[in-house]
Amino acid sequence: MGSSAKATKPERPRPSRDGSPPRADLIGGSTAMERARSLVARFADLDAPVLIDGETGTGKEVVARMLHAGSHRAAEPFVAVNCGALSDTLIESELFGHVKGAFTGASADHPGLFVSAGKGTIFLDEIVSMSPRLQASLLRALETGEVRPVGGTRSRRISARVVAATNRPLAAEVKRGAFRSDLFFRLERLVIDLPPLRDRAEDISALVDHFLRGDFAESGAVASAALLDDLRHRPWPGNVRELRNVIERMVLLSGSQAVLLPESPAANDATADPSPIMHTPNASAPSGAAGYPSRLDFLRAAFRERRRLTRGDAIRLLHCAPETAARALAQLETEKFVRRVSTSAHHRTSHFEIVAS
């Protein structure tokens, strides 16, 4: 779609924009993590683009924020954009801006995130999801230091540093014709590889300790040796993000239990087909739900503990498909156990609050 084309303006995402330092360092003393930290220190104050390569959940945005915080740009904005979550039309407008009247709904000029980032850092996550046309636009921006807004005739100078991330090796994408080789060569000069968690199991104890002392410190929970041994032998397809979700779920449902123990083998299988929502004692319960006869009982306990949850929280806690979580939440709404609270007209921005004690 060219810059002169008309389209209905979709809802604009709200990318993060701040100059704050990262909340945490890369956790772990494995050789791979030591190398990653070393590369961050070497690359931080350079102006050239950096490519971060790693599976989903390995901590690519953490690395991007560390690069920003360790650079002379630290006081400037940090702008994060998930390229895989945006349509072609929207990402072009978001990154490069648009002029008034460029498309239906463009009621005012929009500078675009490259311009808004100023002399800071723009983090392009899942860059591999960009279409060939947008890859060409990004390459031009990197080569010329200029962007042209959608519908505009004049280019604007940009000063932000680009940090890109991919969850698939770009070299392989170039070979199969899905990614431009010239853009790849522009990005590959400075590369930081983040290994999957399954390849650095020795870091799991440090990660669990970090979560329990940080985000979940109020629980006072500690991990048993048996639990740590169990966690080291899991495949972790969701990497560090999945590990954090597992620890959060266990803390949430541990009650007064101060020492976290291993979950049942059946509960560890996140790939199993989700069972339907059931009220019977025979209904399967999700991870960490020992003592809860059904998914609904499990979810009720979660609401009593946290008072409010999003649908995403329910999916993670139940280890189930989105449809299963939606049915569970709808059932609790019907029972008037919870109520939906919308922060906009879109259900995506809603959450659920308990209305029963």
Classify strands 191-193 and 146-147 as parallel, antiparallel or unpaired. Answer: unpaired
Q: Does domain 17-195 have CATH number 3.40.50.300?
A: yes
**Residue 345: what pLDDT?**
44
**Residue 307: what pLDDT?**
83
CA distance 248 to 254: 10
Per-residue model confidence as pLDDT tens digits over 260-313? 777 655 444 443 333 333 333 333 444 444 456 677 888 888 888 778 888 888
Q: Does domain 274-357 have CATH number 1.10.10.10?
A: yes
**DSSP 8-state class, residue 168:** S
In this prediction, the residues of the chain whose per-residue pLDDT falls under 70 are: 1-24, 98-99, 101-107, 151-153, 255-257, 263-293, 343-349, 356-357
Helix, strand or coil, per DSSP, at residue 114: helix
Which of 54, 56, 74, 77 is closest to 66 using CA atoms? 74
What's the number of CA atoms in the CB half-sphere (13 Å) around residue 74? 11
Cβ neighbours for 74, distance < 8 A, ≥ 6 positions apart? 19, 21, 68
Q: What fold is seen in the domain 198-262?
A: Helicase, Ruva Protein; domain 3 (1.10.8)
Kindly report, as residue ranges, where domains of CATH 1.10.10.10 are found in the chain: 274-357
Are residues 329 and 311 in contact, defined by beta-carbon separation less than 8 angstroms?
Answer: yes
**Residue 102: what pLDDT?**
59
**Residue 317: what pLDDT?**
79
Kindly report, as residue ranges, where domains of CATH 1.10.8.60 are found in the chain: 198-262
CA distance 244 to 231: 11
Kindly report, as residue ranges, where domains of CATH 3.40.50.300 are found in the chain: 17-195
The 10 Å Cβ neighbour count of residue 276 is: 12
Tabulate helix, strand, coil % of the chain (nearest 5). Answer: 40, 15, 45
Are residues 65 and 59 in contact, defined by beta-carbon separation less than 8 angstroms?
Answer: no
Are residues 162 and 135 in contact, defined by beta-carbon separation less than 8 angstroms?
Answer: no
**Ramachandran assignment for 210, one of left (phi > 0), alpha (psi -120 to 50 degrees), beta (any other):** alpha
**Residue 293: what pLDDT?**
63
**Residue 70: what pLDDT?**
94
**DSSP 8-state class, residue 193:** E
